[in-house]
Structure 1
Amino acid sequence: MGTDFFRNSISGLSQSARRAAAAGASLFLAAALVGCSGAKSDGGGSEAAKTVTIASIAYPYKGAQVFNGLTGVVINEGWLKNELNKRGVKLAFTPVPTAVGGPVINEGFSGKRIDFASYGDFPAIIAVAGGVPLKLVAPVGQGQNVYLVVRKGLPASSIADLKGKRIALHRGRPWELPFSKLLDANHLKLTDFKIVNINPSATPAALESGSVDATVLLSDGLLLEQKGIGKVIWSTKEAPADWRMRAELFARKDFVDSNPELTQLVVDAFVRAAAWSSDEANKTAVIHNAARGAMPEAIVAKDYDASNIPWRERFSPVLRSDIRSHYRSVADYAFEHGLVRNKVDADALIDDRFVNQALRNLKLESFWKSDASAAHAKAGASY
């Protein structure tokens, strides 16, 4: 199933993106095989895992592949590696290029070459709909902003002004959902535009040359504005919280079922990393680490500031109701727009046992706001 699943998952990409995906897959699979040389559970619990393999987006930086975000903190802290060593279990991290992250990670899950991955909401829904059982075992922060950028000189200030224009939108990627919600809110649909399905890495040249009139991107949209190539006319900063693109810690369901203790250790490690990142004293280090190989630090800082989220809450792993509603909307959109053939039960996807236990294990139950505390704060602010 693995090879066919990968082929299907990239079938909607542009020709250049498919070539990049195939190349990325070759590198990924080679790395994954090295990282998974130990025995794996067969899902029946008869053989305990000897290696825990975690995949995440990585960037080239100073001659090496580096992991940013919470995965990078987990690696630097070393706690998870030490705890697994005590149990005779190895820890392996598999770097995945951002240009082909979703399809390649889905292939790793499908072939049981990885056990966990920190990656986006849309690809995870696509994987589950395609028959790869996953579990969302821990949220990774409060989501990322999505930006609508128009080319330099184009007199447009709203999505309505772009009707009939060419918009670069890499289909099936996490930023498609916020864009769809923006269209719905303005009584528009995809067919009102000329959608150009290209990889984000090809977007700056297309925008600068006038081949497209606008694009939908993550923080790289701010970079286009900084370079004078385009102008941000809308972002999810102006939208409800569950519009933001999300990335979480996902795990293979059969691994979780067969290895609950190891799953708990991994989730504990990510919650520890979230607590470290939430400390205001570490803000400079968090921004520096997030920028390695990806974006200038000024752009990372501007993107964080655009979220209007208190620093501590920016990395909250608490599974609040807006996260659940977000995944329901992702599942609905993917099915209704024909991106998947089978409807995903978003509530069954989410497994909150491990993150709730991690908060108790680390005595962090009151460290971040819960649904109740967030509602109380909002009510107090309304007076």
Structure 2
Amino acid sequence: MPMPEVIMATRFRIPFLPRWTALVALGCALLGMGAVAQAEPLVVRIGFASVGVDNRQFAGGSSVAVAHAEGYLEKAFKDDPDVRFEWYFFKGAGPAVNEAIANGQLDFAIQGDLPSVIGRANGLKTKILMASGAHAPTYLAVPEGSTLSTVKELKGKKVAIFRGTNNHLAVVKVLAANGLSERDLQVLNMDNATTNSALASKDIDGAFGNWPLISLHLANRAKIIYSTKGDDPAFERHSMVLVTEAFESAHPETVQKIITEFVRAARWSSEPANFDQVVAIWARSGTPEAVFRYDFADTDVRYRNSPIVDPFLVEQYRFQARQAKEFALVRRDVDVRGWFEPKYVDSAIKSLGLEGYWTRYDSKGKPLGS
């Protein structure tokens, strides 16, 4: 009775191979399979610390949101089948993004300053690459018909704050400037949807936040009584693009190409002539165009959409880190040294011929060279 391998050889008309030759062939086949596995596409996972209305997978208010909605990365990498992108949007904002980074589920994130500081305090290994959605204001809204008109009048009142977001630290600083702290208020930790509902039903006396409050204000369901716009620049909220140290170390060329496309989107978004198109793109998130127009009114769109990591932003993060510790938002000191890596955005600005297009500011907020 012939051996099984002889039958197989006869069936496929392949000459009988000695056992050692077959083992070598098997080994080569396995090596080949390993090579195929190594050639699998690089999946770049990018997360926004926000989500559109009714869970729409779009964001607004930043140049990276434009890059996502208009497919900048997909177009730039269309001839590179080994790289593809996955975009994620988090209802839980910055804290949820931190959790995803900690669990190894994201490579890049567009996240606010305080959540980033908290993440660094908790040991997340990231690098800040560029600004996107920086210099943003915070608003205080009260129910329609409320007699409250100033921040100081919030003492003892029920006030909603979305803790852990980049609104949070801005609010803490605004309260301090008005002789108050969170302990002087009945603070309720609420996300945007819950806050809107509570304001509309008059179950709270006030709320700090951003675009959702503008929506209520424009619908006459609440009224904005204070904005950090035009106030102390230290009250501004900042968002940045972060990358995990592991991804940046393993794929620096991919990081550069991604940041170059983000800078390209920032340049287009910074042109006043494009503003109508920009807000139309942001409105895909479900937030009305009128909200973004209200938010950007009386501000320089080039200032708001600048991707530059300059001394002012670095100093703001250093200051935010110190104040986060002072206000017990983090338990340990946060060292920002080595956190910022502006070489990618600087290289992109140079390659795109955009030197001097955006103003750089010194640590005190004054234009460099002025």
Task: Give the TM-score band, short-chain normalised.
Answer: 0.7 to 0.9
What secondary structure sits across from 1:292 in the alignment?
helix
Match of 2:326 in 1: 336
Match of 1:31 in 2: none
Deviation string for 1:237-260 (max 9, x for gaps)?
132223222111111012112221
Match of 2:83 in 1: 90
Verify: 1:165 aligned to 2:150, yes or no.
Answer: no
Asked if 1 retains the 8 angstrom alpha-carbon contact of 2:113 and 2:239, the reply is yes
Deviation string for 1:248-287 (max 9, x for gaps)?
1111012112221111111111100000111222111101
What secondary structure sits across from 1:150 in the alignment?
strand
Percentage of pairs with the same residue: 29
Match of 2:103 in 1: 111
Match of 1:316 in 2: 306
Q: Which amino acid aligns with 1:231?
A: K
What pairs with 1:206-245 in structure 2 (closer than 5 Å)?
Answer: 206-245=198-237
Distance 1:290 1:138 in 2: 20
Match of 1:327 in 2: 317
Q: Which amino acid aligns with 1:188?
A: L
How much does 1:76 deviate?
5.2
Match of 1:6 in 2: none
Match of 1:50 in 2: 42
Match of 1:273 in 2: 265
Q: Which amino acid aligns with 2:89?
A: V
Match of 2:146 in 1: 154
How much does 1:170 deviate?
1.7
Verify: 1:260 aligned to 2:238, yes or no.
Answer: no
Deviation string for 1:112-160 (max 9, x for gaps)?
2221111221221121111111111011143321101122222222111
Asked if 1 retains the 8 angstrom alpha-carbon contact of 2:158 and 2:185, the reply is yes
Q: Structure 1 residues 204, 80: closer, same or farther in 2, change over 3 A?
A: closer
How much does 1:212 deviate?
1.0
Q: Any gaps of 5 or more consecutive residues in structure 2?
A: 1-35
What pairs with 1:327-366 in structure 2 (closer than 5 Å)?
Answer: 327-366=317-356
Match of 2:52 in 1: 59
Distance 2:337 2:224 in 1: 34
Deviation string for 1:91-131 (max 9, x for gaps)?
2132213x312233222211222211112212211211111
Q: Any gaps of 5 or more consecutive residues in structure 1?
A: 1-37, 41-46
Q: Which of 286, 290, 298 is 2:278 aligned to?
A: 286
Distance 1:226 1:133 in 2: 41
How much does 1:218 deviate?
0.6
How much does 1:171 deviate?
1.4
RMSD across aligned positions (CA): 2.7
Asked if 1 retains the 8 angstrom alpha-carbon contact of 2:360 and 2:368, the reply is no
Q: Structure 1 residues 295, 78: closer, same or farther in 2, change over 3 A?
A: closer
Match of 1:370 in 2: 360
Q: Structure 1 residues 141, 196: closer, same or farther in 2, change over 3 A?
A: closer
Distance 1:146 1:371 in 2: 21
Distance 2:229 2:93 in 1: 25
Q: Structure 1 residues 191, 352: closer, same or farther in 2, change over 3 A?
A: same
Match of 1:144 in 2: 136
How much does 1:87 deviate?
4.9
Deviation string for 1:34-78 (max 9, x for gaps)?
xxxx989xxxxxx998222212234258x9623444334324554
Match of 1:27 in 2: none
How much does 1:378 deviate?
11
How much does 1:196 deviate?
1.3
Q: Which amino acid aligns with 2:310?
A: R
Asked if 2 retains the 8 angstrom alpha-carbon contact of 1:170 and 1:197, the reply is yes
TM-score, length basis structure 2: 0.81
Kindly indicate which of the two structures has a greater share of residues assigned to helix. Answer: 1
Match of 2:118 in 1: 126
Asked if 1 retains the 8 angstrom alpha-carbon contact of 2:142 and 2:207, the reply is yes
Larger radius of gyration: 2
Deviation string for 1:149-199 (max 9, x for gaps)?
122222222111121111111211111111111111122211111111122
Distance 1:55 1:228 in 2: 33
Verify: 1:247 aligned to 2:219, yes or no.
Answer: no
